[in-house]
Structures are given as C-alpha cells and as structure tokens.
Structure 1
Amino acid sequence: MPFQPLPGDQPSCTVQCPACGHRWLVYQQQLGLLGPCPVCGAARPRSMGSVVPGSGRQVSFGSFRSLLDEPRLLTLIGQALRLSPLDGERFVDAQGREVPLEDIHYALQGNAEWQGTLYNLHMSRAH
C-alpha cells in the first residue's frame, strides 16, 4: 500500500544517501521504511533530522513499532482496522490473512482521528 499523507501533513525530515550524498525531504512517518536513494540506488538513506514543521501528529514507523506492546494500540488496531494480533508484530484480518505491519501503520496515519490517537500514545510513552 503506497504511503498517503493527510492533507495537513508536510515533509518534515531530511535524509541523506550514504553513498552519493544526495539529500531529500520525506514525511516523518516514512523514516525506517525508505528504500534506496532515488539518484544512485544505494542502500537506505540516513535521517539528518527535522527541517520543516509538520502537522505535529506524525509518528514514524520505528516509533509505531515500539508501541506494539501497548494495549491501547492493540485495541485501536482491533477496533479501527478489525485486525487481531498473532504475536509481536503480526496481525491478521477476519479471514486469517496476515496484514503487513507497514500497511497497518499507513492506515492509522491516513486517518486524522487514528493518527491523533497513535500520536497521543507515542507522546504519553515519550514523556
């Protein structure tokens, strides 16, 4: 499932290719999911940090993964997406098909209410 930002979201992080040095802006929630450099095709880029204010409610994939032991996140995934946990980072739909964790993250980030809930969970753990 391709990443779809919310209308208020803005690219807010700079990444740099370790091979050619090319830099580009990405959305915060794409950190940890990025593929190869668009210029030279080298390995995953390095995050250089935030450079532009975003919506303030975006949660990176890495931060999302670190919340998977949070019962309130599991409840959100179950109620909002109708998915059940198998173990750790694996979820299934009602037909028993495994749903990629990246798709779950994208779905939660693509709905303003769910994104806000995820952000609040992240912030309650971060502070």
Structure 2
Amino acid sequence: MNEPVSPFQPLPQDQPDCIVECRACTQRWTVYRQQLGLPLRCPACGSADRPVYVGTMGVGSGSQVAFSSFQTLLDDRRVLRMIETWLSLRHLGGERFVNSVGQDVPLAAIHHAIQGRAEWQGALYNVYMDRVR
C-alpha cells in the first residue's frame, strides 16, 4: 500500500499508549491514540502503511521503565540479549541497533516496543529494579 505518512503533532499532555503491528514485518510499537488508522512508517522495516491495532498499553501498570532509565540499562548484557531476542535486532555498540537488513532502528522505537508488551515490560522492569536496589 505504502501511503504517504501523515504528519502528527501530539499535545504535551498526550502519551502514546496504543500498540500497533506492521503488516509487512509484524514489528509492534506504540503510537498515540490519534494516530490510529493513519498511515505510519514502521520503525523496523520502514514500510509506510496503516498498521494493525493490537491493543492498549496498561498505563500506570507499575512496571514501566522511563526512556532515560532504559538508556542506562544498555550496558547490561541481559538487556542487550532481551532486545536481540525479542526484536530480532543486532547491537552494534552504544545505542545503535539494526534490523535483519541492516537498517538502523531508533532506540525510542525499541523502548516503545518493549513497553508495549506486558511480559517484556515486566522483564525489563525487573532488571532495572535489580540495578536500583
């Protein structure tokens, strides 16, 4: 389909909480409710299409890890293994990850994908809590 990607500017109080899945590669990521039904670019494969709505994140579930905290966990081999296994990405060092065809995957997209699945979110949260305790 590859429709043009619609521009979207969230309001400051808006939070992405809707989980969508790419029709081309099945990558899941989190978007704003206002973006549902719009053509969006997949953070993994770059396809511009209307992703499938999968569900809503459990905001306030108590096991979310903030993006800045997520960044600090990238020196933990357990977290790198999680990202590589769950999202089929390869770590190139620092904050750089690529997909199976060598395209860069933004760290924010990785964070959103993890926060969009309860079991992944919980596992990441446990690693984070191990570190701060």
Q: TM-score per shorter chain, which class?
A: 0.5 to 0.7
Q: Which residue of 1 aligns with 2:126?
A: 120
Q: Which residue of 2 aligns with 1:110?
A: 116
Q: Which residue of 1 aligns with 2:90?
A: 84
Q: Give yes or no for contact 1:78–1:84 (8 Å, CA) kept in 2.
A: yes
Q: Please state how far the C-alpha of 1:3 moved relative to its aligned partner.
A: 3.0
Deviations 1:39-60 (A, max 9, x none): xxxxxxxxxxxxxxx2110100
Q: Which residue of 1 aligns with 2:53?
A: none
Q: Give yes or no for contact 1:83–1:93 (8 Å, CA) kept in 2.
A: yes
1:85 partner SS: strand
Identity %: 51
Q: Which residue of 2 aligns with 1:67?
A: 73
Q: Which runs of 5+ in 2 are unaligned?
A: 1-14, 19-55
Q: Which runs of 5+ in 1 are unaligned?
A: 10-53
1:67 partner SS: helix
Scaled by the length of structure 1, the TM-score of the pair is 0.61
Q: Give yes or no for contact 1:77–1:83 (8 Å, CA) kept in 2.
A: yes
Q: Which residue of 1 aligns with 2:58?
A: 8
Alignment length (residue pairs): 82
C-alpha change, 1:108 and 1:7, in structure 2 (3 Å) is closer
Q: Distance in 2 between matches of 1:83 and 1:120?
A: 21
Q: Give yes or no for contact 1:4–1:106 (8 Å, CA) kept in 2.
A: no
Q: Distance in 2 between matches of 1:99 and 1:75?
A: 16
Q: Please state how far the C-alpha of 1:8 moved relative to its aligned partner.
A: 2.6
Question: Which one has a bigger Cα radius of gyration?
Answer: 1
